[in-house]
Chain A
């Protein structure tokens, strides 16, 4: 160190108010925020991720529960073979009751649309599974049973909004589908009712069928 140079610099006058001005600027300035800043941002992102994760989990759980309402009828009534096997159309319309009898033919027609071999109708009836009442039409495509199900929905039964759902453009119906216990289960809301198309068909085929049938069901389940 050069003493003479150092001495010259030490005698350089410092503006009298420099420290006061700096203190004023420091007082106005935000405190050392680097670490707190990124910590807060990271914590915020973590909270958001947790909230989003919880929402997704809850929404999927809710969707799963609602789809199982339809699956339950398909399995316990259709697959278990407990349904009334019917041959006569009159028998079927009587089984559906006056409210849903007119729905039978449109359902058959829409299911058969574009198919060389139309689905056969195995049964159309009302049934109760686990204390819940269903309107149930059973079709058969080859060896595969297809259930078209309608059940009255309670006030708290609604498909979760925002979860990926296929919107049927022509009718505006939001269709939700998942594979549960080896079955493709498609569900949708229809006024005060919940509608389902459940089958052992490949998921895409079941979804396409549900997309055709949902607007029909909506005309009758208000």
Chain B
């Protein structure tokens, strides 16, 4: 009898309908974030965003209703994207040296980037995607998705100071990237 009660608790397992109703509205956002995190690779972003939801479905019983499912999905996404990048970097002949530059003091955090109006949305997304990870990760999660430093630290497993440092570096690199795009178009120097 104890065994039956043990097997039955919690009262009822979550249904797929419940999961789809709760989680699927976030699919477009997860996909778009994945595009950014994967450096603009849309094909991989499709697979990755689906994998995020499959993993979320498998562990949906651990999700507490009423808590922030958006942050939870992003956490899964960040972890999976990081693993994907690690796999990819092993295939590349040379690593990106920018990835190691986590050395900016928090107090020097760069102000948000002003994006020129004449750049198309796709150019902006690509400029963000061109920022090297993990600065790109901090940039997207903070400046595009609006997560707090604390939330980002929780998602990435990095200390808050490192998150702030990465964000600062990310903003500087994005500014340089946008200036380069504008320069290519002959529309002025970088800001």
B20→A26 contact, CB < 8 A:
yes
Seed contacts A6-B146, A18-B50, A31-B57; 18 additional CB < 8 Å A-B pairs: A2-B113, A5-B113, A6-B143, A8-B124, A9-B36, A9-B125, A11-B121, A12-B122, A15-B42, A26-B16, A26-B53, A26-B54, A32-B19, A34-B58, A35-B10, A35-B62, A36-B13, A47-B3
Complex CA gap A33/B46 in Å reads 24
B61→A5 contact, CB < 8 A:
no
Which residues of chain A from 77 to 113 have a CB within 8 Å of any chain B CB?
Answer: none
Contact with A along B1-36 (1 / 0, CB 8 A): 001001100100111100110001001100111011
Stretch at the interface among A38-46, A52-60, A118-126: A38-46
B residues contacting the other copy or chain, number (CB 8 A): 45
The reply to whether the CB of B99 lies closer than 8 angstroms to some CB of chain A is: no
Q: Which residues of A approach B to under 8 Å, CB–CB?
A: 1-2, 4-12, 14-15, 18-19, 21-23, 25-27, 29-36, 39-40, 42-43, 46-47
**Most chain B Cβ neighbours within 10 Å, of A1, A22, A33, A46:** A22
The reply to whether the CB of B38 lies closer than 8 angstroms to some CB of chain A is: no
The residue on B at minimum CB distance from A12 is B32
Q: With contacts A12-B125, A39-B7 known, is A18 near B46, CB below 8 A?
A: yes
Instruction: Name 9 interchain pairs, CB-CB below 8 A, sorted by A.
Output: A5-B124, A9-B32, A9-B121, A15-B46, A31-B15, A32-B57, A34-B59, A40-B7, A42-B6
Q: Which residues of B approach A to under 8 Å, CB–CB?
A: 3, 6-7, 10, 13-16, 19-20, 24, 27-28, 31-33, 35-36, 42, 46, 49-50, 53-54, 57-62, 112-115, 121-122, 124-125, 128, 140, 142-146
Q: With contacts A2-B143, A8-B124, A43-B3 known, is A26 near B35, CB below 8 A?
A: no
**Most chain A Cβ neighbours within 10 Å, of B49, B121, B125:** B121
